[in-house]
Amino acid sequence: MPAYRRLIAVLLQVLALMLAVPAQAGQTHIAASLVAEDPATPGGTTTLAFVMKPEAGWHGYWLNPGDAGLGVRLEWSLPSGTIPGTLRYPVPQTLLISGLMNHVFEHDYALLAGLTLSPDATPGSRVPVRVKASWLACTEQICVPESAGLETTVLVGSGPRDPRFDAWRAALPAPLGAKASFAFDAKTIRIGIPLPRSLALSGAHLFPETDHLIAYAAPQEFRRKDDMLVVTLKRPDLAAADPTEIKGVLRLNGAGDGVEFTAAPGPVPTGGELIADPAAKPQLSLPMLLLAALLGGLILNVMPCVFPILSLKALSLARAGESEAEARAEGLAYTAGVVLACAILGAVLLALRAAGQEVGWAFQLQEPGVVVALLLLAVAITANLAGLFEFAIPGFAGAANPKSAFATGLLAAFVATPCTGPFMAAAMGAALLLPVAEGMALFVALGLGIALPFLAVAYVPSLRRLLPRPGAWMVWFKKLMAVPMALTALALLWLCWRLGGTWFGAMCAFFALALVIALAATGRRQRAGKAAGWMLAGLLLLIALVAAEKLSKLYNPPKPGIESILPSQPFSEAALAKARASGKPVFVYFTADWCLTCKVNESAAIEREETKAAFEKAGAQVLVGDWTRRDPAITRFLTAQGAAGVPLYLWYAPGKDAEQLPQVLSSGLLAGKAGGVR
């Protein structure tokens, strides 16, 4: 995360601690008490427990709180010769809020510390133990500094022990019986932890004790090399001094089991088998995933979001009947353009994720600059199709032109890939979890699927013979195809408004209109037989420069939110946990304004009176994740579900894990789910 954001978060917490009035007894959101395990002999040791009980929706912090927070601080008041030990924490949980990764406890927990009595303690007496404890109690919205004076006594002698300590001690991380090693460079730290290969890991996470050592919110990579677990961690922009020793806790699973380790500088193995969460780990073999990506790309050719590009393909296919050699050359060039575009998008996506960025498939449409560029491109293509000006844009050259076919392929793939159709979800989700080479193979397979119909026509003469022969009809067909392209431009203009606010959208409309006027003026010069290339280039440069300067000042994204006839609330993992704890069914769906598949499903299945009635009868709760703009928390959750993008639909029956619903919904499916709840 940017260093300034973390600095601001820490400064705000310090200010809160300085200015806040300490909470009075009975007013704390995390109740604390002090308990001794058993009596101790003079000079002997017993164990103390600081028992912390957060209210619902509140949490406390681990020793190293992460990007923001504060653990428990103690001020002891003890008789002479009585010595307290180091405070030991249970294995923490992770909580990501607005890009800040915190190490927290959202449930009752106990911190344990040894207490050694003075050798001069009198047998039969009670040693008073007084501690002033302070901590930070937080929800996802606010934090409150709290404190309490805690006290107990320890009997000097013998007597019964408190059986609750067995469970509290079991929650502590187990000490690792072997030395770990680490190596680092300017960007990463790699830690080798000896663990039996047979030990199952699920939801593993490494918590370092040293602050500023790693970028907390960045993904952690786990690999197995024989009986060695290798953890790769990203270092922050403002990292702590180069480590000479690393202590921390490795969480092994979602049940809270973990081990504490100490790592010294030393060799760390490279390579190894990548480990992913079972919830996110690809369940299909690589050949099946490649087939799924191929089929997903093939189906994209009939998805609504791809239809405007079909106008480019249609003219190219019609022209391909002129010559078998020309048809094959265009088919190969088009395929090369599609595959290259998918490979580039995939490589950028994997590189950004490797650098710690929380991005997913179709990330380019979460960037306002990319959407504005696509808007102006769609406007230019619409003007060309409508006959306002002449330009050899991809697919419209009179004779066979592999360069035009290649450019058409690039454009088709760039516009098509944001749609996630059937078969694509598993493959694209797996691409984010597999090794780089296998992940890139899936992106290439997706590109081949998109290009397959055009390639088949290029190489199968019988298919080419089915196409109409070139003629005057192509002029009218070209103008007819200006309609869907104009609708695409309108959709992109609407997306500009949704991304950047009202004034941003209005200015985008102004520049789109300015572009149409410039292109129409160019067309008049062309029809008069005058050169127009330099004039068009100058006008385009002027529009681009002015647009870049004005739009950056007007960008003001509206607050995220989805208008729905269903009573719903924004998605967060805390909201999901609370909804599931209510004992009612929960429907969670993830959408984006640029995802046409999402909007079709919402119109056809979600925003329906029959769905609303069924949900109300079942008491179903609805959570909506709006992924129109980049949201690291949603991206991480999508990845954990094995999804690379939207749409994603999850149904939680009471007391059961998530059921992932199809990407093509019907109101009957949702009503049936709600009606099946007993």
Q: Could you please report the per-residue DSSP string of 291-323? A: HHHHHHHHHHTTSGGGHHHHHHHHHHHHHGGG-
Q: Are 246 and 182 in contact (CB under 8 A)?
A: yes
Element (H, E) at 476: helix 473-480
> Does residue 560 belong to any structural domain of this protein?
no
Is residue 442 located within the same domain as residue 329? yes
> To which residue do tokens 């409309």 refer?
509
Question: Could you tell me if residue 506 is left (phi over 0), alpha (psi between -120 and 50 degrees) or otherwise beta?
Answer: alpha
Question: In this model, does residue 260 exceed pLDDT 90?
Answer: yes
Together in a domain, 429 and 354? yes
User: Would you say residue 15 has pLDDT above 50?
Assistant: no
Tell me, what CATH number does 263's domain have?
Answer: 2.60.40
**Domain C-terminal end among 554, 587, 620:** 554
- Predicted local confidence at residue 19, as pLDDT: 40
Q: Quick one: CA dihedral 365, 371, 375, 381, positive or negative?
A: negative
Which tokens belong to 525? 């010069």
CA angle (138 as vertex; 221, 145 as ends), nearest 5: 125
Q: How many domains does the chain have?
A: 4
The pLDDT value given to residue 429: 64
Judgement on whether residues 537 and 612 belong to the same structural domain of the protein: no
Mean pLDDT, rounded, for 348-364? 66
Q: Say which CATH number the domain at 660 has.
A: 3.40.30.10
The pLDDT of 372-399, averaged and rounded, is 70
Distance from C-alpha of 389 to C-alpha of 107, rounded to nearest angstrom: 67
Looking at the domain assignment, is residue 250 inside a domain? yes
Residue 589: pLDDT band (50, 70, 90) is very high
Does the structure show a pLDDT above 70 at 457? yes
Q: What are phi and psi of 547, to 5 degrees?
A: -60, -45
CA distance 203 to 198: 16
Instruction: Give how far Cα 583 sits from Cα of 491, 653, 657, Å.
Output: 40, 9, 13
Do 165 and 180 belong together in one domain?
A: no
How many alpha carbons fall within 13 Å on the CB side of residue 21? 3
Cis peptide before 647 (omega within 30 of 0): yes
User: Does a structural domain hold residue 561?
Assistant: no
Q: Give residue-wise pLDDT tens across range 107-124.
A: 999 999 999 999 999 999
Judging by DSSP bridges, how do beta strands 621-626 and 568-570 pair with one another? Answer: parallel
**498 and 626 share one domain:** no
Residue 131: its H or E element: strand 126-138
Q: DSSP states of 370-402 as a string?
A: HHHHHHHHHHHHHHHHTTSS----TT--SS--H
User: Model confidence over 522-531: pLDDT tens digits?
Assistant: 888 777 777 6
What residue numbers bound the domain in which 204 lies? 175-275
**559: in domain:** no
pLDDT value at 332 more than 70: yes
What percent of the chain shows pLDDT beyond 70? 80
Confidence of residue 277 (pLDDT cuts 50, 70, 90): low
- Cα–Cα distance measured from residue 653 to residue 165, given in angstroms and rounded to the nearest whole number: 35
25 pLDDT above the threshold of 50: no
Boundary (domain end) residue, out of 492, 520, 554: 554
Q: In this structure, is residue 280 part of a structural domain?
A: no
Radius of gyration, alpha carbons of the chain: 31
| Res 535: pLDDT | 67
The residue from 275, 303, 336 where one domain ends is 275
CB-CB contact of 207 with 191 (8 Å) = no
Phi, psi of 187 (to 5 degrees): -110, -25
The 10 Å Cβ neighbour count of residue 352 is 14
**Nearest Cα to Cα of residue 474 among 315, 243, 289:** 315
- Label residue 627 by pLDDT band (50, 70, 90): confident
pLDDT of residue 390 exceeding 60, the answer is yes
Q: Does any domain span residue 591?
A: yes
The reply to whether 194 and 149 lie within a common domain is: no
Please state, in angstroms and rounded to a whole number, the distance separating the CA atoms of residues 496 and 550.
14
Q: What is the pLDDT of residues 186-240, one digit of tens each?
A: 889 999 999 988 787 878 899 999 888 998 888 888 888 888 999 999 888 766 6
**CATH number, domain containing residue 18:** 2.60.40.1250
Whether 405 and 396 have beta carbons less than 8 Å apart is answered as no
Instruction: Give yes or no for residue 131 having a pLDDT over 90.
Output: yes
Q: Are strands 221-225 and 273-275 parallel, antiparallel or unpaired?
A: antiparallel
Residue 11 has pLDDT above 50, yes or no: no
Same domain as 246, residue 320:
no
Contact 94, 37 (CB under 8 A): no
Answer whether residue 350 is part of any domain.
Answer: yes
Spatial separation of the C-alpha atoms in residues 140 and 54, rounded to whole Å: 14
Rounded distance, CA 70 to CA 18, Å? 13
190 & 135 share domain:
no
426/441 same-domain check: yes
More confident site: 165 or 531: 165
For residues 378-403, give the mean pLDDT: 67
Mean pLDDT of the chain: 80
Burial class (CB in 10 A: 0-12, 13-18, 19+), 253: middle
296 and 414 share one domain: yes
Torsion angle (degrees, nearest 10) of CA 552, 554, 99, 415: -70
Q: Are 384 and 393 in contact (CB under 8 A)?
A: yes
Spatial contact of 320 and 419, defined as CB atoms under 8 Å apart: no
Residues 525 and 613 in one domain: no
The tokens describing 519, both together, are: 């292109």
Question: Do residues 327 and 414 share a domain?
Answer: yes
CB 419 within 8 A of CB 595: yes
> Would you call 145 helix, strand, or coil by DSSP?
strand
Residues 655-673, mean pLDDT to the nearest whole number: 82
Q: Is the pLDDT of residue 421 over 70?
A: no
Q: Does any domain span residue 146?
A: yes
pLDDT of residue 193: 95
pLDDT in tens, 472-481: 777 787 788 7
pLDDT band per the 50, 70, 90 thresholds, residue 129 = very high
SS3 letters for 488-556?
HHHHHHHHHHHHHCHHHHHHHHHHHHHHHHHHHHHHHHHHCCCCCHHHHHHHHHHHHHHHHHHHHHHCC
pLDDT digits (tens, 9 = 90+) for 630-644: 777 788 788 767 776
pLDDT at 42: 94
